[in-house]
Amino acid sequence: MLDDFFTRALVAGLGVAAVTGPLGCFVVWRRLAYFGDTLSHAALLGVAIAFLLEINVTLAVFVVATLVALLLLLLQRRATLSSDALLGLLAHSSLAIGLVALGFMSWVRIDLMGFLFGDILAVSKFDILVVYVGGVAVLAVLAAIWTPLFAATVNRDLAEAEGLRPDRANLIFMLLMATVIAISMKIVGVLLITAMLIIPAATARRIAFGPEQMAVVAALAGMAAVAGGLFASLEWDTPSGPSIVVAALVLFVLAMSPAAGVLTRLARGARPTRGAAPQQERPER
């Protein structure tokens, strides 16, 4: 029999993986890994504000991540710096401000390592409720905007010409990213959220037949990484959050193996092509 804390960790981790997988597909397609990294770094500033104002941490992280995303959009339109320079500026500035603010709050005792690398074994039933309610909402909204968001990913000009309103879809996507980071921060931590967005999606891109299937495979790969990482952590007494990421990396390496490539090509040749393959998608620049 598994202990209650391990069962809660497994349930919470599976819920996070089910959400980060499909959302991570757009991160991979659009080459937005650095954007996800920026929002995750900003989460620590949200933690500092939550302790300073004595408000809910998840809410504060969501608000800060949303503000950083909106600030990025504003700076992209007005600043002369490139997008990657702006992302680096916002990522490291928000992380530094959060750490300095927490340093000034000497009356607060905080497990900084838990926020940086996650503490999935400490999740409560309320945390699980937040993950699943927030996750279902994120997946529902993502399904609703899938067509315009995917069209804008492949060809923004064409999506705009067809009246799909890509700007609105992009804004909603940023809000979904902020939501996922807020609800998953306690599970895998500030520094490992981006890995859970990218690695399962990259694994799925190697073996999936189309965009929708890639989203499903990414979710399954993330869930397998959570289960494998947690059981490995239990067996070898390793940190749970990093163990999950290592398990995801192992799955990616297996998907990149020659044997997996041969099986994928055989499977693709045995079924009709449906829609554009993820490998053929041209991300928005």
Contacts of 266-272 spanning 24+ positions with Cβ under 8 A:
267/209, 268/209, 271/209
Q: For residue 108, which amino acid is it?
A: V
**Residues with Cβ within 8 Å of residue 253, at least 6 apart in sequence:** none
Alpha-carbon gap, residue 190 to 115, rounded angstroms: 6
pTM for the model stands at 0.87
The full set of domains in the chain, from first to last, is 4-279 (1.10.3470.10)
Quick: pLDDT tens for 23-74: 999 999 988 888 888 888 889 899 999 988 889 888 999 999 999 988 888 8
| Tokens at 8, concatenated | 């809660």
| Tokens at 20, concatenated | 């980060």
Q: For residue 84, which amino acid is it?
A: D
Smallest CA-to-CA distance from 67 within 226, 155, 175 is with 175
Quick: pLDDT tens for 69-108: 888 888 877 767 777 888 888 888 988 998 898 888 877 7
Smallest CA-to-CA distance from 177 within 224, 215, 228, 141 is with 141
**Residues with Cβ within 8 Å of residue 251, at least 6 apart in sequence:** 199, 200, 203, 221, 224, 225, 228
Q: What is the dihedral of CA 145, 41, 241, 196, to 10 degrees?
A: 30
Quick: pLDDT tens for 166-215: 889 989 999 999 999 999 887 888 878 989 999 999 999 988 888 999 99
Alpha-carbon gap, residue 52 to 46, rounded angstroms: 10
Alpha-carbon gap, residue 43 to 23, rounded angstroms: 18
Residue 178 vs residue 259, higher pLDDT: 178
Q: What is the 3-state secondary structure (H, E, C) of 154-182?
A: HCHHHHHHCCCCHHHHHHHHHHHHHHHHH
On whether the CB atoms of residues 52 and 105 are closer than 8 A, the answer is: yes
- Would you state the pLDDT for residue 175? 92
Q: Is the pLDDT of residue 120 over 70?
A: yes
Quick: pLDDT tens for 89-100: 888 898 899 889
| Tokens at 263, concatenated | 């099986």
Q: How confident is the model at residue 244 (pLDDT cuts 50, 70, 90)?
A: very high
Q: Read out DSSP for 28-60? A: HHTT-HHHHHHHHHHHHHHHHHHHHHT--HHHH
Smallest CA-to-CA distance from 115 within 131, 95, 133 is with 95
Strand locations in 171-217, DSSP E?
A: none
Residue 27 burial (CB count, 10 A):
23
